[in-house]
Structure 1
Amino acid sequence: MRGLRRPIVAVVAACVLIVLQAVADPTGLLALVGWPGGGLQAALVWPLAPYAVFIPVLLGVVWWSAVRAGERFWTMFAGVVLAVLLAQAATAFVMVLDAATAAWAAGYVTAKALPAAAIVAAATRWLGGRTSRPTFERGSVWPAAIAFGALAPIAAGSWWTGAAYAPMVPAPRPEGGLLAMIVAVALMIGAAWLSLRWMRTRVPGVLGAWLGVLVGGALFGIAQAIIGVVVDDGLAGDLWPLMAAYVHVADGLSFAAFLGWVPAVVAVVVDRVRRARSVAEAAPDASPRRSWSLAAIAVAVAVVAALIVTPVAVAGGGVSEARAAAQVEASRTIPEGFLRADGERITDGEGHDVLLRGVNVNQLVDFYQPRAEVPATRPLTEDDFAGMAEYGFDVVRLGISWSALEPTRGELDAGYLERIDQAVEWAKGHGIRTVIDLHQDGWSNAATPEGTVCRPGTDPMWGYDGAPEWATITDGAPRCAFTGRDISPAGDRAFQHFWFDTDGIQTALVRTWGELAARYADEPAVAGFDLMNEPGFGETAPVTTSLLLGRYYDRAIRAIREAGAPQIVFIEPSILWSGLGFDSGPSLAFTDDANIVFSPHLYAESITMDHSLGLPTIVGTARQLDLAARVADEYGVPLWSGEYGYWGDEASIAEHIGRYADAEDAHLLGSAYWVWKQSCGDPQNGIGDVGLGLVPEDCATGEDGARNEPLLAALSRAYPQASPGRLTGLRAEGAALAMTGTVDGATCGLDVWIPGEEEPDPQTEGLTKVVVREVDGGWRVTACAEGDYALTTG
């Protein structure tokens, strides 16, 4: 019984922790195994997996770790971390049947695994009985370390991609370049060698070597983080170095947890071979043939198993290059006049870069109405588009609601479609393109029902906007907010059902996208389709926010193309990007479609979690554009900021808008500011004296309020709406502009917006046929270009 005490204590401690976390966590997002409330649909696999898979795997590995590694706190700590990661990987695999995603996604429970490991390891150490702390022969180290490093380029899978990986941070992905891969593999081998030397003297057998490479994976992530501080402007006044370090360590841990058994088997086999050799040398008459045969078989089995179980193909490898080639081919089939993705830029198909700069319009969104006497939206009229054109805007991101578009399943509302048609026509009439955005916030406009008792830590909430009632499946989970509109048990469960297509609700939206796209397939004034605003993460991020989000996007894109619509499709990462300033996003190769644009919302220093919780800045204003551009480059597509702004009062806006504008110009980036008009009755506006927006509403009178002229001056600053060839440089403030570009051959496509009443006197190089003409709100400068060219005003 004495030998069972320690593992029993460890398992009981883990069980108690699971129960306490489930009780204490009102959403289920922060616990190892959450219970957000409501019921479970027993016929579905994914709701049961956290209980039927995660808990048994966790407790099984905790028991094994307590038996083999429980003599010491730190070895037991590593064992519990391994248990949590393996349990999460197994759970995710059962849910989605994708080994690569399941293994990679396991690393993102590191924030849960580390405190859980400390608690269980401490209980095991203090209550598990006497310890003798034995030491063991170290055995072989180099073979296992080399095997660990060698596996990385072969089975890179989803690891070592995303915003955290600056170009000079070494990562063992072949597409990152030979030198970077060699350096990364060398670092992995060195980290594994150090940790194996320490761990193998304390924990014997396969588990000791597995835990050794697990610690080595964490050390490799730390090494990457240190390099990142140097090469990624790490000390820029925000918490990004810590966020990047977390991603690096999470990737290293998950890779080692999933594949660490392979170098562990190598280590054990090499030890046995060496012992057999020693026996043979001590007794020459003994034959080592049997030991050598077993060793060869063991190594072969390990290698074959690794190739079967692990993602040997490099997921996402060479994606940007392949997509660039596909863009060239796709551009030949896109009709004249339609915008398209061309490398890192949006172009018009006639040899001109196009900058889409404008504003969001929410006046067609089907919002929850918190005050019966105050409308949730302001009327949308042609005057709105005339006003946008006077500020030089050339695009609107037009929010529409699934609940209004398809209130009855399978039937698109004809009246609502006509309102969308009218908005597109008004915009077109004023030289403005439209991005049709399927908008949602908090999943739907359902509020907390009366009489609901919210668990401690959550509060009753308003509804917002999004899905129709027939597509909202919550299983009775409470509609109670945790830190804001985007985290509630009901909303998370509804998103989870959508990602797993329960009752075909995702299939229904895919079909709806096909019908909507067919309506505008011949309309070049529709710049593109934004498939979902700030998608929620459900209950199992990043599986939902990477694999399943990508699957939905791919299905919707295929429906749009089958409907004959050639327009750009704008893809967003999940709401986590808006909340943190970065996110994992859909896997790099989620679609083979080339006409797509990466469109995160750049709310750093605005409505991100740090700002709302009073924490230091996670990602700064300038850095967020760098991170977004880095991810767009990995996809091999252009970047466009679908939303930004919302900095609060005028003083805060004044502090931020100049820095944002400078960074936007430096990146040659287009965007849509949030928002043109926001009603006093909009749930996102709250209850105040003013309805926020570029054109605010005086809540006392219902009329337009005073406008923030400094903000509007920054948003309406000069910029080239179309640039021949490639735009290579841009800097602007008000009517003062300095831009450069280059074009092969000659073209007359330069079209520049200049605000203000004073006629500009452009100074040019490489430009001919320069024409300055007055338009409402400012001036348009057009010209022909050949070779390198430049234009300055002011």
Structure 2
Amino acid sequence: MKSVRRPLVAVSAVLVLVVVQAVADPTGLLALVGWSGAVPTLAAGGWSFAPYLVGFPVLLGMVWWVTVRAGERYWTLVTGVVLAVLVAQALSCLVMTWNLAVSAWAAGYVTAKAVPAALIVAAVARWFGGPTRRETHRCGPPWIPAALFAAAAPLLAGEWWTSAAYAPGVPVARPDRGPASVIVAVLLIGLATVVCLRWMRRRVPGVLGGWLAALVAGGLVGFVQAVVAFAVDGGLSGDLWPAMAAYVAVADGLSFGACVGWIVGVGAVVVERIPAAGRVRVARLSAATIVVVAVVVALGVPAIAPASAADSSATASGSAGAADAAPAGFLRASGTAITDGRGDQVLLRGVNVNQLVDFYQPKTGLAATRPLTEADFAGIAARGFDVVRLNLSWSALEPTRGTLSPSYLAAVKEAVGWARQHGIYVVLDMHQDGWWKGATPAGTDCRAGTDPMWGYDGAPAWATITDGAPRCQFTGRDISPAGDRAFQNFYFDTSGVQSALVATWGRLARVFRDEPTVAGYDLLNEPGFGETAPVTTSYLLGRFYDRAIGAIRAAGSRQIVVVEPSILWSGLGFDTGPAPGFTTDGNIVFSPHLYAESITMDRSLGLPPIVGLERQFTLAQRVAAEYDAPLWSGEYGYWGDTADVDARLARYAKAEDANRLGSAYWVWKQACGDPQNGIGPTGNGLQVQNCATGGDAAPRTDLLAILSRAYPRSAPGTLSVLSAKGPDLLLVGSTAQDSCGLEVWVPGATMPTVHSTGVTALATVAASGGWLITGCASGRYTLNTST
């Protein structure tokens, strides 16, 4: 009988590690089993207890088991503890969602916590666990269990291998990526499993040996995918993306091995029961099975639908044709382009306007916003912008639950009316920063590592449920235990707070359903990650979006709906976002905020860029293509007052033109008392405020010169080339249907010289701040302007 000393030491090490991490990590996000100060409650639901009543016991039980079975060798025990952490995470998420696909995929998100913990626990067990007795075990042929594991990959693809990390050319076992990808991936998984089984099963017997082999094989496949990605996805380009892509691929592989690898373990044990005389024949047969399975699956088996699509509330069902049903004059999403419904592509380029946001006021007597007037829209139009992302506050829109504020709604209507008068589209954005405007209450004792914080903006107090978590920030406003718990309660619809916002969107959409000036609805600005990403940031965020879209369509509104990934995209330069298929609605736009090299965490930490400024467009386009939706960045900029701000904006503009995209710069005006401004001598933004006088300072003409460059507001068909600097423009497009929808903005007082091919009825007319060039295009056309 084996001694219980080593498993007892290992479990004790896990207990100590969990306690130390819970004390040291004030957010609860970086710990194996974190505690942020929020108290689990029955009102919140079972999800608040899941980490403690499911995840923690499973972790301890699994660590005991793997130490008993695989604890004689350091590296097998490391692998076993990694398995224990991933399985505990998956089961905890399963209790939260009752969705196998989401829970299994979510296990990979704790890889960065699982590996260091495993190294520590295995080391402690080796040092204090007593003498080892290494044995070598006999094992059967590995081909059958390897074939089963490889065959399971495309059949159970679920949400694995869907993110910006998987560039075209990287083999993944998803039938929607094509037969070649599946065949290569299945062969790769099968061969890696054979190799790992031969190594692991001699050291660890039984089901666990095969399971651990599958775990290592999954990680090995992820490493190979990362090598391929490095070769096909730009390699070293001055950023850390290859390392991040490698981490994502390895984490996906490990979670796949952890959650599906028991198939290998069971298969290996069954094979050992086969009489020796029959093993050779079976081995030969199963060696060919991997190849046959790969081909058959690649050619004929669809991937299991992403969980968020499969079990969504279906409130948006029947709305797939919303784009086609949009009335004349309304913008819509058509494939990967925003169009006017006549086949003309529309580029929405403009600015954010935050002057209706209900901000926290950090300094008495210093206003948090500047008044919004018609002059703002006149000034925006004079710069050639054709869209305003109008930031709204739920707290001001619905201060009392169930009732929209008449005065605030009137202010929104007035702003939309001004935009209409000046030929500007409006995207109504439900804005939030840090969930709500509450600051750290006086007398709060913030834990070490966190600091008291200002409030910001967002939800009303009645929709803010923090369960006692402290309002203290860690590295910034977006990591606050109270804010994270408030988001968690929102995602799980505690006390119906999510349902309330869904209903609010329905009421707001009913007001503007007949207003073509409203281009679309941005459902929630930079959604927080709560406490359990990606359950929150993918599955539950997608469910909220689907419900809100359903409410908007039920209100009779056919405008575009803008959906964002979580705040992680703004902080890292990439994210997963809702799983493809989260809604059946076809009239959506994908809108990550392209802040690479700006407010991302790498810059604040002095690291090389996680994602380079130019690469971010490629990654965002890749994810938009998974949604079959246009890409539009609702925010970018905010490079502060550093010496290279102009150079970075010029790079952004060049990349934006090369990708033929629109976006909205942050921000038109920022008041001196805006908490995001930080209380300085001037208010940030393109239109600067003098904090000493409260009046206007000189505007940022350097930035405006870049932002106000020439561009096509609308262009027939599809654009293939777009390049501009100031008033100089080159565009190339093609259209299968003749159209007179060409409209180009050119800045400046001097009338531009225009050269074109394939364009007729050219006309150049003066507009506020510049010129508008219109014409009719047929087939392939070009247009070039200069002054």
TM-score category of the 2 structures, normalised to the smaller one: over 0.9
1:729 aligns with 2:721: yes
Distance in 2 (CA, whole Å) between partners of 1:148 and 1:98 is 21
Equivalent position of 1:19 in the other structure: 19
Equivalent position of 1:682 in the other structure: 674
| CA deviation after TM superposition for structure 1 residue 579, in Å | 0.3
Q: Report the AA paired with residue 235 of structure 1.
A: L
Equivalent position of 1:667 in the other structure: 659
Q: 2:637 aligns with which of 624, 641, 645?
A: 645
Q: 2:306 aligns with which of 315, 320, 328?
A: 315
| CA deviation after TM superposition for structure 1 residue 655, in Å | 2.0
Tell me, yes or no, if the aligned pair for 2:26 and 2:36 is still in contact at 8 Å. Answer: yes
Equivalent position of 1:740 in the other structure: 732
The aligned length equals: 759
Tell me, yes or no, if the aligned pair for 1:772 and 1:779 is still in contact at 8 Å. Answer: yes
> How do 1:4-83 residues align onto structure 2 when only pairs under 5 Å count?
4-43=4-43, 44-83=45-84
Taking every aligned residue pair, what percent have the same amino acid on both sides? 63
Equivalent position of 2:288 in the other structure: none
Equivalent position of 1:231 in the other structure: 232
> How do 1:426-445 residues align onto structure 2 when only pairs under 5 Å count?
426-445=418-437
What is the alpha-carbon root mean square deviation over aligned residues?
1.8
TM norm structure 1: 0.94
Equivalent position of 1:419 in the other structure: 411
Equivalent position of 1:195 in the other structure: 196
* CA offset digits 1:259-299 (Å, max 9, x no partner): 001121111101111348599x9xxxxxxxxxxxxxxxxxx
Query: Which secondary structure does the structure 2 equivalent of 1:754 belong to?
Result: strand
Equivalent position of 1:159 in the other structure: 160
Tell me, yes or no, if the aligned pair for 1:341 and 1:568 is still in contact at 8 Å. Answer: yes
Tell me, yes or no, if the aligned pair for 1:446 and 1:463 is still in contact at 8 Å. Answer: yes
1:400 aligns with 2:392: yes
Tell me, yes or no, if the aligned pair for 2:308 and 2:543 is still in contact at 8 Å. Answer: no
Q: Structure 1's 407 and 317: CA in aligned 2 closer, same or farther, altered over 3 A?
A: closer
| CA deviation after TM superposition for structure 1 residue 351, in Å | 1.6
Q: 2:759 aligns with which of 754, 767, 785?
A: 767
| CA deviation after TM superposition for structure 1 residue 602, in Å | 0.4
Query: Which secondary structure does the structure 1 equivalent of 2:228 belong to?
Result: helix
Equivalent position of 1:306 in the other structure: none
Q: Structure 1's 59 and 276: CA in aligned 2 closer, same or farther, altered over 3 A?
A: farther
Query: Which secondary structure does the structure 1 equivalent of 2:557 belong to?
Result: coil
> How do 1:770-785 residues align onto structure 2 when only pairs under 5 Å count?
770-785=762-777
Equivalent position of 2:314 in the other structure: none
Distance in 2 (CA, whole Å) between partners of 1:277 and 1:537 is 53
Distance in 1 (CA, whole Å) between partners of 2:643 and 2:385 is 24
> How do 1:161-176 residues align onto structure 2 when only pairs under 5 Å count?
161-176=162-177
| CA deviation after TM superposition for structure 1 residue 312, in Å | 6.9
Distance in 1 (CA, whole Å) between partners of 2:534 and 2:452 is 27
Q: Report the AA paired with residue 33 of structure 1.
A: V
Q: Report the AA paired with residue 437 of structure 1.
A: D
Tell me, yes or no, if the aligned pair for 2:27 and 2:34 is still in contact at 8 Å. Answer: yes
Q: Report the AA paired with residue 46 of structure 1.
A: W
* CA offset digits 1:724-758 (Å, max 9, x no partner): 12222100010000001111232211000000111
Q: Report the AA paired with residue 33 of structure 2.
A: V
Q: Report the AA paired with residue 272 of structure 1.
A: R
Equivalent position of 1:287 in the other structure: none
* CA offset digits 1:673-730 (Å, max 9, x no partner): 0000000000000021111000011111111112222211110100000101222210
1:119 aligns with 2:98: no
Distance in 1 (CA, whole Å) between partners of 2:588 and 2:770 is 32
Q: Report the AA paired with residue 14 of structure 2.
A: A
Query: Which secondary structure does the structure 2 equivalent of 1:28 belong to?
Result: coil
Tell me, yes or no, if the aligned pair for 1:328 and 1:342 is still in contact at 8 Å. Answer: no
Query: Which secondary structure does the structure 1 equivalent of 2:37 belong to?
Result: coil
| CA deviation after TM superposition for structure 1 residue 433, in Å | 0.4
| CA deviation after TM superposition for structure 1 residue 38, in Å | 3.4
Q: Report the AA paired with residue 77 of structure 2.
A: M
Q: Report the AA paired with residue 93 of structure 2.
A: A
* CA offset digits 1:578-630 (Å, max 9, x no partner): 00000110010110011000000000000001111222210000000100000
Unaligned runs of 5+ in 2: 282-301, 311-316
| CA deviation after TM superposition for structure 1 residue 139, in Å | 2.2
Tell me, yes or no, if the aligned pair for 1:174 and 1:317 is still in contact at 8 Å. Answer: no
Distance in 1 (CA, whole Å) between partners of 2:456 and 2:373 is 23
Moved more, 494-503 or 646-655: 646-655
| CA deviation after TM superposition for structure 1 residue 329, in Å | 4.3
* CA offset digits 1:4-43 (Å, max 9, x no partner): 1111111111111111111111000000001101322134
Q: Report the AA paired with residue 306 of structure 2.
A: A
Tell me, yes or no, if the aligned pair for 2:336 and 2:629 is still in contact at 8 Å. Answer: yes
| CA deviation after TM superposition for structure 1 residue 318, in Å | 12
Tell me, yes or no, if the aligned pair for 1:22 and 1:35 is still in contact at 8 Å. Answer: yes
Distance in 2 (CA, whole Å) between partners of 1:659 and 1:611 is 17
* CA offset digits 1:354-413 (Å, max 9, x no partner): 000000000000000001110000000000000000110000000000000011111110
Distance in 2 (CA, whole Å) between partners of 1:336 and 1:48 is 51
Equivalent position of 1:291 in the other structure: none
Distance in 1 (CA, whole Å) between partners of 2:199 and 2:188 is 17
Tell me, yes or no, if the aligned pair for 2:79 and 2:212 is still in contact at 8 Å. Answer: yes
Unaligned runs of 5+ in 1: 282-310, 320-324
Tell me, yes or no, if the aligned pair for 1:326 and 1:594 is still in contact at 8 Å. Answer: no
| CA deviation after TM superposition for structure 1 residue 314, in Å | 3.9
Equivalent position of 1:756 in the other structure: 748
Q: Report the AA paired with residue 123 of structure 2.
A: A
Q: Report the AA paired with residue 53 of structure 1.
A: V
Distance in 2 (CA, whole Å) between partners of 1:782 and 1:541 is 48
| CA deviation after TM superposition for structure 1 residue 167, in Å | 0.8
1:269 aligns with 2:270: yes
Equivalent position of 1:300 in the other structure: none
Equivalent position of 1:504 in the other structure: 496
TM norm structure 2: 0.95
Equivalent position of 2:557 in the other structure: 565
Q: 2:696 aligns with which of 704, 714, 732?
A: 704
| CA deviation after TM superposition for structure 1 residue 162, in Å | 1.0
* CA offset digits 1:161-209 (Å, max 9, x no partner): 1110101111110010101111111111122122111111110111001
- The list of structure 1 runs, each at least 4 consecutive aligned residues, that deviate by more than 6 angstroms after superposition, is 316-319, 325-328
Distance in 2 (CA, whole Å) between partners of 1:92 and 1:56 is 14
Distance in 1 (CA, whole Å) between partners of 2:226 and 2:279 is 43
Tell me, yes or no, if the aligned pair for 1:746 and 1:785 is still in contact at 8 Å. Answer: yes
Tell me, yes or no, if the aligned pair for 1:155 and 1:314 is still in contact at 8 Å. Answer: no
